[in-house]
């Protein structure tokens, strides 16, 4: 089984975080160091270390990250204006936490912020 990170503690409410959405499969919480007006991380409750470890049986779970992103963007009122979704993978991709996570960035124009998060 894959090793847990700090994100598993967030899922289990063992450390403080601002959770904005949670169900049996997915948790979404505010990034501690926001790079945009709204910066939320959306993660599977199951530990998948990175995109490299996504298996065919995870496809529905990974798809759920997108439907939760869409819901949060709508609920927060910026779905129509648009937003950015990012997955960093591995060292060269700049991934710091080895628990698959989607960055949802929005709430302001992002053109000038470059591609990286």
Judge whether 101 counts as a catalytic residue: yes
Measured from the CB atom, the residue of 80 and 92 that comes closer to ligand AMP is 92
From 20-28, 60-68, 74-82, 94-102, span contacting ligand AMP (CB under 6 A): 94-102
Separation CA 64–CA 43 (nearest Å): 10
How many residues bind ligand AMP (CB under 6 A)? The answer is 12
d(CA 49, CA 96): 11
Counting contacts by CB under 6 A, is residue 27 touching ligand AMP? no
- What is the enclosing helix (H) or strand (E) of 2? none
User: Which of the following is catalytic: 39, 99, 101, 103?
Assistant: 101
Residue 33 in contact with ligand AMP, rule: CB under 6 A: yes
CB atoms within 10 A of CB 57: 7
Q: Which span sits near ligand AMP by CB under 6 A: 19-27, 29-37, 53-61, 65-73?
A: 29-37
Tell me the DSSP string of 11-38: HTT-S---EEEE-SSEEEEE-SS-SSSE
Residue 83 C-beta: closest distance to ligand AMP, Å: 16
Query: Residues near 93 by Cβ (< 8 Å), separated by ≥ 6?
Result: 87
Active site (catalytic) residues = 101
Contacts with ligand AMP, residue ranges (CB under 6 A) = 6, 17, 29, 31-33, 41, 88, 94-97
């Amino acid at each position: 089984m894959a090793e847990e990170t700090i994100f598993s503690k967030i899922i289990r409410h063992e450390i403080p975080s601002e959770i904005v959405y949670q169900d049996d499969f997915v948790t979404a919480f505010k990034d501690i160091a926001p790079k945009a007006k709204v910066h939320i991380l959306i993660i599977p409750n199951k530990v998948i270390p990175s995109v490299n470890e996504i298996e065919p049986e995870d496809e529905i779970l990974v798809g759920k990250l997108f439907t939760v992103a869409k819901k949060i963007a709508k609920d927060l009122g910026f779905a129509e204006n648009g937003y950015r979704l990012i997955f960093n993978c591995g060292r060269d991709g700049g991934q710091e936490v080895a628990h698959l996570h989607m960055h949802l960035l929005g709430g302001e124009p992002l053109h000038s912020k470059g591609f990286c998060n």
